[in-house]
Structure 1
Amino acid sequence: MLKRAALYIRVSTDQQAKHGDSLDAQIATLKDYVSTQDNLTIIDTYIDDGISGQKLYRDEFQRLLEDIKKNRIDIILFTKLDRWFRNLRHYLNIQEILDNSGVTWLAVSQPFFNTDTAYGRSFVNQSMSFAELEAQMASERIKAVFENKIRKGEVVTGSVPFGYKICDKKLIPNENAPIAKDIFKHYSIHNSIRLTVEYLFNEYDITRSSRTIKHMLRNRKYIGEVSGNKNYCPPIVDKETFEKVQNLLDKNISSIAKRTYIFSGLVVCSCCGKKMTGRYRKRKYIKKDGTVMYYTKKVYRCNGNTYKRNKCPNKINIAEEILEEYLLNNIKADAENFEAKQKKIAVSAPEKNNNSKILKKIERLKKAYLNEVISLDEYKKDRKELEQMMIQVKPKETIVFKSNWFNKNIESTYRDFDEEEKRFVWRSVLKNLIVDPHSKITINFLTKN
């Protein structure tokens, strides 16, 4: 009678590949074994690439468990026991599921492992304990090596901060160190990542993204410190300037977090085709009684204005409220055209697909917990991580259908939305808004015929 065999393959590191445990090597070994057995037929192959044997929640492994519960598998084949598990508790939990389902396993390169006898089971358990201990010791050895290198001031990664170079395994300032110092000084004075990016390009002809500059400004190596060594490398920036920069960045985080630009990513310059990004502009006006008042408003400005050379001629700062009013007026005129199509617009396909995948993972995780494969703490931890992945998608799913906003009363309905809801509404119907230097706005709808 033919047995239905599942091939399970796992590789977690490049180092394992060097020792003959690459994916291709494992697949070849398992298929060669099956070819010598008259009573085996391969049902499916399950591959977990880049996953540690210490972890139970592996996508392909969870799919394998589902197929076991569906009675699709009689035997699981893997090359070595450590490809299956390195955690004894996880192994025992899964073994109980296999026993209840009548499924056996075989490590084809280690046929001396078996679970048919009490001695065999004891031998497997002892081997699993040693494998788990070995994995933990390897992790501790790597950590100890890194800590020792840090204590000695040696580089532990290939990433070198701008303004430094590696010499004799240590970081030392290079010819760009004065520029790095100037970046910190400029930000400490102007408190603006954007202006610092512009300054770096215009003054030194060096292009860096805002994200890169922000990461650089947070890097404590510039004052010679890393976790575990306060004298890791020669400092480029003095501590007073560095701490001032940290305080400014911290204040800006809370400030920026409150800002929502409802047309973010949608406004495009007609001259150069670059995005027009949102920012706040502060303005003052003087009342009739002489009182000076200040107000801020959100505007969109072409990114092509960032640099002095090849500067975009479109210098307009168009207010967000102008874009809103223009859109509301124009959409009202075409409401009947768009109403039927708008009802069909929900969440974009990628978001919907991603959500579906995450929900399936949560469901598999729940089953793993109910089957006592994982502990309650592991279930809570992994579920929290998966739910965090949904945080940006889930709120959007209910916004459009919350009020069926696209109708003849669009304006009054729209006014009830908060900023995030407004943002999603426009992203649901707009491809982009093209703005020229004279504030002429061209609307491109996603639902345009």
Structure 2
Amino acid sequence: MKSVIYVRVSTDEQAKHGYSIAAQVEKLEAYCVSQGWELLGVPFIDDGYSAKDLNRPRFQEMMDVVKAGGVDVVLVYRLDRLTRSVSDLYDILQELDQHDCKFKSATEVYDTTNAMGRLFITLVAAIAQWERENTGERVRMGIEKKTKLGEWKGGTPPYGYFIEDGKLKIHEDEGEIVKEVYKLAKTLGFFTIAKQLTSRGIPTRYGGDWHVDSVRGIANNCVYAGYLTFNESKKEYKKPPREQTLYEGNHERIISREEFWDLQDILDKRRTFGGKRETSNYYFSSILKCARCGHSMSGHRSAKRKSYRCSGKKAGKNCSSHIILEENLVKTVFAHFSQLTEKFLTAAGNSEYPTDRLATLKSELSAVERLMQKKKTMFENDVIDIDELISSTSTLREKEKEIRRELNSIKQTDTSSEALKSIVENMDTLWLHANDYERKQLMTTVFSQLVIDTKDEYHGSKQGAREILIVSAK
């Protein structure tokens, strides 16, 4: 009989059980000699691959050889070297049958030529699959408990941290880059930031160039703000932080909570309206509306001059609006700035800072934090078990999130009113010394919407620019 040998081992299995490549090959070659079988070619070896699926290069090569014909038997050291999945085993046996090839384990007695042998081998594969899945569930439960206790769940630490005694510690040099990314991401897109970091010669952890996904991963990683996450699937981890379940981590923060959530507000806005519009250097690109059709007006470069045109008209809608030069729009806004912002300043001056409510919230937050620490101490002293700790702290974390949300809302309202008043009163000076991105921030801080139109219809460029009308401002 002509046979081929298949060998597989993962790193963990080799360490725990001694299923080394050399040992398997030696025993299988000796088995072929004892049976008088002819060994075809060299053994097919998958080193460091799991048996959870069939995506293994040498296994696929072996099956191609079997399909080509001339192979009488596939020999393995044990069944679980071939697969740990019942469905995969069934598919493999079907494939071998179609090409008149048998399956043989050197250390187990299987006969795949009759129904009883097939039943037995299927039961063994089912047990192997159960063991793998059961182990996976236990590991998952352990990771979940560690996360809920605020401990690092293991694996490669995010950029900006390193592992010491199983805990996350801040890497000073990388931590500074993380802070810079958070600062830049408020006004620049991820692609632009990646280009800047690369051009400045700042290496990634592994020495390569920065990629847009690397920057995005940093900007969306809640670990930097002291949180930990545990999700049901990899797909869940790709969702924005607000859509994930967050747990309090014990590690030191690189980014403050306020700065983290401020950036998330900006990123959420980009996801809604489009990142390019929010990060471009067009001063009005995210706040301009066409008075004639109600569509937004987007940035447009014509003859090296920045301008705006109706996005509805651009998409083929019936709109008679015209292209507006940015420099002319700026002149119009500043000519009417006092009238446009008068009602904003009045509203800001009338807003009352709820000091009593703020004090109450701070007191409630301190009480929740003390109670969470008390529960943790009780667990460490075996007064309560892990399930009770997780249950109680989960409730307390939800309460903490509600308090922090209201606190942030109060602070942002007060800060926004003060910032708006300061910007309006010093707009001329601020504008004079600001770059394009800072000017965009000034405009979007003062205005959330400007609805514009032109006074006259098209009459030729020689007659001068059309007069711009600001229909309304918010």
TM-score normalized by structure 2?
0.47
Q: Compare CA radii of gyration and give the structure with the larger one.
A: 2
Larger helix share, 1 or 2 = 2
TM-score normalized by structure 1?
0.49
